[in-house]
Chains A and B, each alone.
Chain A
Amino acid sequence: DAGVIQSPRHEVTEMGQEVTLRCKPISGHDYLFWYRQTMMRGLELLIYFNNNVPIDDSGMPEDRFSAKMPNASFSTLKIQPSEPRDSAVYFCASSLHGGARSYNEQFFGPGTRLTVL
C-alpha cells in the first residue's frame, strides 16, 4: 500500500483565494482525520470522519473551513477565503477503529505546507 496520499505537497496562495487540500486514505481504513500543525499551537485536530460521515468538526476554526468525504477513498479540506493566519502544515491521517471504543494507531500522510501571502 502506498500509505496516505496528500496533494499538493506545497501550496502558495494569496489572501482571499480558495484553497483545496486532498487526501487519499489507506484502503480499508474507516477513520480519516484532518490536522493542522503550527509552531505556536502544535498539532490540532480539525475534523474526523467515520465511514465517510463527519463525526466531530469542533476543531474547525471558522466557517471558512469545510471538509468533505464523498467516498471511502477521497477527502478534501477547503479554505475559502484563505487568510495569512491559515499558513500551516495540514496533515491527513487514517486508521482502523480499535473496537471496544478505543482508537488505534493513525497513519499520517506527508502533509501539505500551505502559505497564504
Chain B
Amino acid sequence: SQQGEEDPQALSIQEGENATMNCSYKTSINNLQWYRQNSGRGLVHLILIRSNEREKHSGRLRVTLDTSKKSSSLLITASRAADTASYFCATAAWDTPLVFGKGTRLSVIA
C-alpha cells in the first residue's frame, strides 16, 4: 500500500513553538499533499509537493520531501492556538487517487 503514516500520532506544544510532523509511505509517488482538519470540519488542502521537488514553503508552513527515504515532513513555525487540528498527509501515485494517512493530532496550548 502507498498509504502514508504520520508520526507522531499526537503532539502537544506551547504557542510560539514550532511543530514538526512526519509522513512515511511505501511506494513511488507522483506527489504528496498535506491537509488540515479542524474538529467537526472537512479536510482543507495546505500544500502539494511533487516528486521532483525537495522543499516547499507556504506562509508559516514548510514541507520537505525525500523520495529516497519515502518520507516527508511538515513544519509549522511560530504555532498559534488556531493551528490546533489534525494534519494528514496524502500520497498520489500515477493513475491512482490520493491515499490518506491516519493523521497527527496537534494541540497548541496558549
Contacts and interface: CB of A to CB of B under 8 A. Distances in A.
Interface residues of B, number: 22
* Closest CB pairs A-B (n = 7): A108-B42, A105-B45, A42-B102, A103-B92, A102-B30, A43-B100, A108-B43
Contacts of A106: 43, 45, 98
Interface string A52-88: 0000100000000000000000000000000000000
**Which of under 10, 10 to 19, 20 to 34, or 35 or more describes the interface residues of A?**
20 to 34
Given A91-B42, A109-B42, A103 B101 contact: no
B101 A42 contact: yes
Given A43-B102, A103-B96, A106-B45, 11 more contacts: A31-B97, A42-B102, A43-B43, A91-B43, A101-B30, A101-B94, A102-B50, A103-B92, A106-B98, A108-B42, A108-B44
